[in-house]
């Protein structure tokens, strides 16, 4: 276990004097040490043996540790911890790293609370640069969380550390013994459900980290492991209000489908644009991306990992098995969480077509019947007044404004959208009415939001020409029962073309709220952002 130096201090590899313990994690102990050869302070991570492993497994783990730590040592980036050396003593690996004078990001949040959006954007952009360098070298971190980010005193430099469960492309995972590695609150849903891990999984973790930095708590924190798994894999993702200025980035990183998730370059560009201008640009559409019904944004179904119109039974089985195993001890029925609640029929509680089914692409819960507004209604006139964020009022992401609508609610709408009242329905429309964001407030109906939307879906072909691929899903909004209706239709004219609609319905304060967004199929990604923001910021007043 190393030689004994002066005053009983351990010296390893005849060079590194271990002087004080800085911390302990799941895989080892980190020491403050002195490199006696170069006369400098360093940090040394001692990887402790796992008594649960067989001799063969322990040897494989040891070999992987050395191999992959040496790969990480090749990384060179100002926001990645510098690995100076990898040594072993008495068959135990030690990783010698630069010593950062400062605590972790988790310590900073615990002591001083959440950070402001500009500081969060700076930290996020720096870490994204670090991830780009790591991923380009074929190294995945796999455990990004505030505790694994150090903040240097004085400079405030954020440094990504603890690549202890990192994975090098083409290699097995460093701690892989058939058990899960990582921090569930920050782990991407594809890893939770047993799918292949790639760079996009690290980006999901960074999105969760940004939420924590801005609000003080991960959006997936729950009281049990089963609750965390449900939040990550199944439940609606509710970003904290403090994330509003950076919402396009946060939403883009917390996209459950890794193929649609923002990549590191896009996210970093957007955050640096916010730092330069105070405004976060919208997430770009994927180059060459041509949406089809199968590729449209996912609806919140019993298994939200399944995009509309696409069946993925293998993943669904894996998710179900994972949740069943995790929740069995907590007395939670995974069947109740995962069962399909779509379909149904009934009579719509309001008359037929009047409003144009609005299409959006949300990642939200609950939705309400989407009637249809004629594209040739009155000329838009602006009414709802812009209100600054105040107590009880939502904040507006960059590129949006808060409207205090006379109908009794406030929410954020994109700048440039104008208010067009249509009887009981109020629309906020983009120039040329390409995007239509609708709201309707009525009295609660028998059977609640789910019954309302199922009844409307039965009449979908009557109210929306060419209605197809409709699905109603039971969900929640802020813990309240809700329903989400998603469908494609042909629009009101050949010139308008096919459109896609997302509609959320829920009850709150003795009223039934219905919010929807409609847009051309090819603009579904952008519409989804509008829908997400509208539902996330909606507040009855």
- Which tens digits make up the pLDDT trace of 338-394? 222 222 222 232 222 222 333 332 233 333 333 332 333 232 333 333 333 444 567
φ and ψ at 458, to 5 degrees? -60, -35
Look at residue 292 and tell me whether its pLDDT is greater than 50: no
Residue 313: which residues within 8 A CB-CB, separation 6 or more? Answer: none
Active-site residue (options: 126, 143, 236, 536): 143
Q: What does the block give as tokens for 507?
A: 């009850």
Highest-pLDDT range among 28-42, 45-59, 190-204, 296-310 = 28-42
| Amino acid 307: pLDDT | 36
Out of 7-21, 133-147, 157-171, 241-255, pick the least confident.
Answer: 157-171
Q: What is the pLDDT of residue 499?
A: 93
Predicted confidence (pLDDT) per residue in 63-110, tens digit: 767 766 777 788 889 999 888 888 888 878 888 988 988 889 999 999
- Burial (CB < 10 A; 0-12, 13-18, 19+), residue 287, is exposed
pLDDT in tens, 170-223: 443 333 434 445 688 999 999 887 777 789 999 999 999 999 999 999 999 988
* pLDDT tens digits along 111-123: 999 999 999 999 9
Which tokens is 359 given? 């299409």
CA separation for the pair 222, 398 (Å, rounded) = 30
Active site residue 514: no
Residue 305's SS3 state is coil
User: Looking at residue 399, what is its pLDDT?
Assistant: 84
Q: What is the pLDDT of residue 262?
A: 94
pLDDT at res. 191 = 87
Structure confidence at residue 338 (pLDDT): 27
Q: Which residue has the higher pLDDT, 497 or 50?
A: 497
pLDDT, residue 465, reads 86
393 within 8 A of 540, measured Cβ to Cβ = no
Q: pLDDT tens digits, residue range 165-182?
A: 445 444 433 334 344 456
The end-to-end CA distance of the chain, in Å, is 66
Q: Kindly list the structural domains of the chain, giving each domain's residue range(s) and its CATH number in brackets, ordered by start.
A: 3-54+70-98 (3.30.200.20), 105-292 (1.10.510.10), 342-389+397-540 (3.40.1000.10)
Q: Is the pLDDT of residue 528 over 60?
A: yes
User: pLDDT exceeding 90 applies to what percent of the chain?
Assistant: 41
Q: In Å, what is the CA distance from 58 to each residue of 67, 90, 96?
A: 14, 14, 21
How far apart, in Å, are the Cα atoms of 302 and each of 187, 229, 514, 515? 20, 14, 21, 21
pLDDT tens digits for 388-435? 344 456 777 878 899 999 999 999 999 999 999 988 899 999 998 899
Q: What is the mean pLDDT of the chain?
A: 76
């Amino acid at each position: 276990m190393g030689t004994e130096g002066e005053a009983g201090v351990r010296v390893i590899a005849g060079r590194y004097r271990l002087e004080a313990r800085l911390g302990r994690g799941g895989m080892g102990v980190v020491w403050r040490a002195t490199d006696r050869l170069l006369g400098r302070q360093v940090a040394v991570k001692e990887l402790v043996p796992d008594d649960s492993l067989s001799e063969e497994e322990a040897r494989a783990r040891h070999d992987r540790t050395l191999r992959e730590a040496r790969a990480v040592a090749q990384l060179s980036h100002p926001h990645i911890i510098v690995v100076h050396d990898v040594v072993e003593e008495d068959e135990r690996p030690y990783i010698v790293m630069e010593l950062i004078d400062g605590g972790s990001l988790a310590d900073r949040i615990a002591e001083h609370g959440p950070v402001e959006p500009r500081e969060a954007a700076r930290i996020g952009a720096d870490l994204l640069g670090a991830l780009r360098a790591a991923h380009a070298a074929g190294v995945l971190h796999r455990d990004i969380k505030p505790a694994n980010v150090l903040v240097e005193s004085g400079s405030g430099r954020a440094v990504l550390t603890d690549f202890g469960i990192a994975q090098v492309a083409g290699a097995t995972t460093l701690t892989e013994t058939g058990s899960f590695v990582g921090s569930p609150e920050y782990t991407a849903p594809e890893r939770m459900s047993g799918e292949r891990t790639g760079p996009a999984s690290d980006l999901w973790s960074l999105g969760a980290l940004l939420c924590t930095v801005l609000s003080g708590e991960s959006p997936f924190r729950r009281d049990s492991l089963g609750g965390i798994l449900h939040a990550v894999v199944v439940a609606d993702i509710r970003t904290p209000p403090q994330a509003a200025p950076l919402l396009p980035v946060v939403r883009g990183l917390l996209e459950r489908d890794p193929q649609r998730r923002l990549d590191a370059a896009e996210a970093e560009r957007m955050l640096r644009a916010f730092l330069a201008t105070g405004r976060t640009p919208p997430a770009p559409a994927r180059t060459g991306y041509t949406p089809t019904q199968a590729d449209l944004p996912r609806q919140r179904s019993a298994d939200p990992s399944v995009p509309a119109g696409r069946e993925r039974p293998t993943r669904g089985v894996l998710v179900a098995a994972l949740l069943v195993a995790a929740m069995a001890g907590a007395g939670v029925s995974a069947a109740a969480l995962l069962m399909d609640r779509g379909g149904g029929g009934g009579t719509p509680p309001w008359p037929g077509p009047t409003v144009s089914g609005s299409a959006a692409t949300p990642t939200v819960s609950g939705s309400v019947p989407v009637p249809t507004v004629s594209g040739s209604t009155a000329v838009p006139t602006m009414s709802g007044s812009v209100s600054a964020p105040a107590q009880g009022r939502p904040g507006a992401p960059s590129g949006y404004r808060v409207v205090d609508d006379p109908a009794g609610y406030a929410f954020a709408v994109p700048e440039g959208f104008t208010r067009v009242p249509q009887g009981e329905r109020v629309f906020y429309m983009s120039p040329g009415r390409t995007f239509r964001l609708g709201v309707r407030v009525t009295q609660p109906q028998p059977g609640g939001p789910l019954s309302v939307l199922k009844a409307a879906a039965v009449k979908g072909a009557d109210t929306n020409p060419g209605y197809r691929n409709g699905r109603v899903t039971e969900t929640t909004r802020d813990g309240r029962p809700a329903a989400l209706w998603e469908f494609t239709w042909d629009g009101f004219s050949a010139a308008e073309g096919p459109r896609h609609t997302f509609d959320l319905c829920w009850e709150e304060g003795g009223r039934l709220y219905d919010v929807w967004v409609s847009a051309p199929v090819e603009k579904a990604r952008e519409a989804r952002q509008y829908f997400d923001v509208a539902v996330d910021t909606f507040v009855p007043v």
